Structure 1
Amino acid sequence: MIDGYENISENEKLNFLADLANMYYELNMTQTEIANKLSTSRFKVSKLLQEAKNKHVVEITINKPNNRVYDLESELKETFNLKAAIVLDNKVLPYEEILYSLGKVGAKYVNSLIKENSTIGVLWGKTLLNLVKHLKPQKKLPITAVQIVGAAAKNKNILDAQELIRYIANIYGGNSKYLYAPLYIDNDYARKALMHEPVISDTLFFANKSDIILTGIGTIDAMFSSTLWSNYLEKNNEYDLSTLNAVGCIYGRVYNNLGEELDIDINKKIVGIDTPSIKRTEHVIGIASGKFKAKSILGALRGRYINTIITDDSTASKVLSLSKITQ
């Protein structure tokens, strides 16, 4: 096969490279042993193994240990009366690598909470996506992943709740419940009528039974970068949120630096479960990273919108510092 390698089809090449990689990586054969078996040179084997990497036949993952900063975890728990805090030692990692590692360490914690018949409410976000993609159940479980508020219409579908719900349900072999509605409906009559429709009310019934809620934490800047939010705010003349000390958005609700839900129209137009129901959930887990999100995270913690925080050490330090100077 090696002698005629250049003349075979691309699909045949990929299959050959997979067999070659299997000998090296799975069967632990040396390159010399493989060369002898295939009647070729060690140099040729080495070159083909590199080609296998280049063509993504072989993908190598290096699982570096994720260290945690336990003193910051304790301080966060004590300061905000949290159920749990997980703080990653980021070692000045690039932001994308922080998100990857944060998702990994967060997924390990979430995996430990998910049990048979768990109901998991799911929101959206890039950081949350990293957590969800790292979930690795040891066995299939009859769980239900449910959408607790309407769709946020993210520009990237993979960041929206429905995609994350579908993924969780698939990897656990469980069920999924979707809320077939937008996050906001301006017309009060239409919104209330829709929430009484059987398919919507059935999903909301499951949402209210959530044992675990997974959410990201949004900044005000992120709101204005989203077509959904900016169109609504523009329509209702609510652009000047800064005068209301607005710092963040969670579950589609805008809140101030004290964690108080703002008395603005947009907060009254949400399709989904209400804030008290969210706060009654046993594990409400927020995952977020970046000093630029510190004010948003602080407001979410003060408002008890989450009872568990997953973040990195520089972000945690910034949040704690802000909590001491802003009351």
Structure 2
Amino acid sequence: MVSISNSDVRESSDQQDWPEQLAVRIAWCYYVLGMTQQEIAARVGVNRTRVIRLLAEARRRGVVSISINSKLTENVELGEALAERYRLDLAEVTLAYATDEDELSRIVGAAACEPVLRRLKNGMTIGLGWGVTLKEFADAVPETPMRDVSVVALLGSLTRRSSINAFEATTQLAGKLRAECLYLPGPIVCDTAESRDILFQQPLLQDIYKRAMQSELAVVSIGGLNSATIRRVDFVNEEDFASVRSAGAIGNFLGYYIGRDAEVIDHPVNRRVIGLRPREFAKIKQRIMISGGENKVTALRAVLDQGLLTGLVTDQNTARALLD
């Protein structure tokens, strides 16, 4: 909404310097009638440069005031506050109208498409996490063919059941981008630490792991302690979960259970994980988190406080909680 007000009569010397009636006429033509600056210049008999200057001066003096009447305005304010608080290059906030966790994943995943696509470029390697929100993100990405792009998994990709692949986003995103798809050839959580070590020594896994660490852009999500996808698909049994919770876990990030300092906690479960560790992940230049939900706030705040992210896409309620 634009309002054009009559200012108080000024001293004669000021009136000579400030042609208020002309400025109001120009502002009315521009903001109310929608005329172009060139059309206004022709109508009032001045050049376009003077039109621009008087419009700017009218704004500065308060003759013209502009307000944005939209429920999305708060999202912009929340995003700016998040960026300042956590030193982020990107902070996008979407409306929170989900009725359940899965719907929120769809909303936040879809909201991430545009800001992530803005950062893609030909020849880039993109590291991608795993889980419900990232699968929703990959599903929502439009067909965007690119050249010489690779999408590499940041954590293990092999599973026992095909149904679990519903949470694997690497293939879907690579298809949308016409990109090469690279997998870490192993499960996210191995049955034993010894099995994990044997797999990790394989040259193929080492090569893909190095490619993941060389990503220019990483897109990840995070799991709340009780809601992490890794638990939903039974990669961690109830006994292990109770134990890792007692050890101080607050959430799951890149397959690892983390504590309040965002460090991987010292626990047998974490010694069975195949994937980049948070501190290795932090060496990637651009690191965007797509996540939302009350149960994820504690874990999100931990990784944000430790500077592990350069970008965040979330919902209003989560944003408010992170700023509280």
Task: Give 1:117's aligned residue.
Answer: 123
Query: Aligned pair in 2 of structure 1 residues 309, 190: CA closer, same or farther (>3 Å)?
Result: same
Partner of 1:113, secondary structure, is coil
| Correspondence for 2:153 among 139, 147, 153 | 147
Cα distance in 1, alignment partners of residues 158 and 251 from structure 2: 15
Alpha-carbon distance, 1:317 to partner: 0.6
Aligned pair count reads 250
Query: Any gaps of 5 or more consecutive residues in structure 2?
Result: 1-69
Asked if 1:157 corresponds to 2:160, the answer is no
Cα distance in 2, alignment partners of residues 187 and 89 from structure 1: 42
Asked if 1:175 corresponds to 2:180, the answer is yes
Equivalent residue letter for 1:286: M
Cα distance in 1, alignment partners of residues 301 and 163 from structure 2: 27
Q: Any idea what the Cα deviations from partners look like across 1:108-127, whole Å, max 9, x if unmatched?
A: 11111111111111111222
Alpha-carbon distance, 1:242 to partner: 4.2
Task: Give 1:228's aligned residue.
Answer: 235
Q: TM-score, normalised by structure 1?
A: 0.68
Alpha-carbon distance, 1:98 to partner: 4.1
Cα distance in 2, alignment partners of residues 261 and 100 from structure 1: 28
| Correspondence for 1:131 among 121, 132, 137 | 137
Give the alignment's Cα RMSD to 1 decimal: 2.6
Asked if 1:193 corresponds to 2:186, the answer is no
Task: Give 2:208's aligned residue.
Answer: 203
Alpha-carbon distance, 1:304 to partner: 3.4
1:162-311 matches, within 5 Å, as 164-185=169-190, 187-223=192-228, 224-230=231-237, 234=239, 239-311=242-314
Alpha-carbon distance, 1:93 to partner: 4.3
Alpha-carbon distance, 1:66 to partner: 10
Among all aligned residue pairs of Structure 1 and Structure 2, give the percentage whose two residues are the same amino acid.
20
Alpha-carbon distance, 1:188 to partner: 4.5
Alpha-carbon distance, 1:155 to partner: 7.8
| Correspondence for 2:86 among 80, 88, 105 | 80
Cα distance in 2, alignment partners of residues 193 and 225 from structure 1: 26
Alpha-carbon distance, 1:134 to partner: 1.8
Equivalent residue letter for 1:204: Y
Equivalent residue letter for 1:196: Q
Alpha-carbon distance, 1:204 to partner: 1.1
CA contact (8 A) 1:111 1:136 kept: no
CA contact (8 A) 1:218 1:248 kept: yes
Equivalent residue letter for 2:153: Q
Cα distance in 1, alignment partners of residues 192 and 178 from structure 2: 38
Query: Any gaps of 5 or more consecutive residues in structure 1?
Result: 1-64, 322-327
Partner of 1:180, secondary structure, is strand
Query: Aligned pair in 2 of structure 1 residues 178, 284: CA closer, same or farther (>3 Å)?
Result: same
Q: TM-score, normalised by structure 2?
A: 0.69
Q: Any idea what the Cα deviations from partners look like across 1:220-266, whole Å, max 9, x if unmatched?
A: 113544411126xx3xx562444444211111111123323212222
Partner of 2:237, secondary structure, is helix
Equivalent residue letter for 2:91: A
Cα distance in 1, alignment partners of residues 227 and 128 from structure 2: 19
Which structure has the bigger radius of gyration? 2
Alpha-carbon distance, 1:285 to partner: 1.4
Partner of 1:277, secondary structure, is helix
Partner of 2:118, secondary structure, is helix
